[in-house]
Chain A
Amino acid sequence: MGTVTVTVRDSSGAQGQTGVSYTTQSVGHMLLGASATSNAKKNTTSDLAEYLRLEAITGHPLEIRRTFEAAPTSWAQCKASADVGKRASFVSFKTSPDTMSGPGQEAYWRTLIESVPRGHRVYMTWQHEAENPSKNNDPAKIRAGGVKFAEYVRKYRGDRDISIAWTLMGWTFASEFSKRNPLDWYWGDDSVEVVAPDPYNTSTTKFYSYDATMVGATQAYQFAKAHGKRFGIAEMGNYDLTATNRPKFLTDGMAWLRGLKDPVCEFACWFHSDVPADDAGDYWIDSSAASLAAWVKV
Chain B
Amino acid sequence: MAAPSVSATLDKTAYAPGELMTLTVTYGDPDSRTLKLTIQVQDTTGGTGATVVTSAVLDSLTLIVTDSDSSRTWTKKSDTGAIAVFTAKA
Contact = CB atoms under 8 A, between A and B. Distances in A.
Interface residues of A, number: 36
A264 B3 contact: no
A100 B27 CA distance: 39
Contacts of B65: 4-7
Contact of A159 (B1, B11, B21, B23): B11
B31 to A, nearest CB: 7
Given A20-B23, A159-B12, A6 B63 contact: yes
A21 B10 CA distance: 8
Q: Interface majority SS on A: helix, strand, loop or mixed? A: strand
A263 B17 contact: yes
A258 to B, nearest CB: 12
Interface string A13-52: 0111111111111110000000000000000000000000
Nearest to B21: A22
A118 B10 CA distance: 14
Contacts of A8: 4-6, 25, 27, 29, 61-64
B48 to A, nearest CB: 34
Contact of B18 (A17, A21, A230): A230
Interface in A197-247: 230
B13 A22 contact: yes
Contacts of B60: 10-11
Contact of A15 (B4, B10, B32, B74): B4
Contact of A161 (B1, B14, B27, B62): B14
A9 B32 CA distance: 11
Interface of A: 2-12, 14-27, 118-119, 121, 159, 161, 163, 230, 262-264, 266
Interface of B: 1-19, 21, 23, 25, 27, 29, 31-32, 59-69, 72, 74, 90
12 contacts: A2-B69, A4-B67, A6-B64, A8-B5, A8-B25, A9-B62, A9-B64, A10-B4, A10-B29, A23-B15, A159-B11, A161-B14
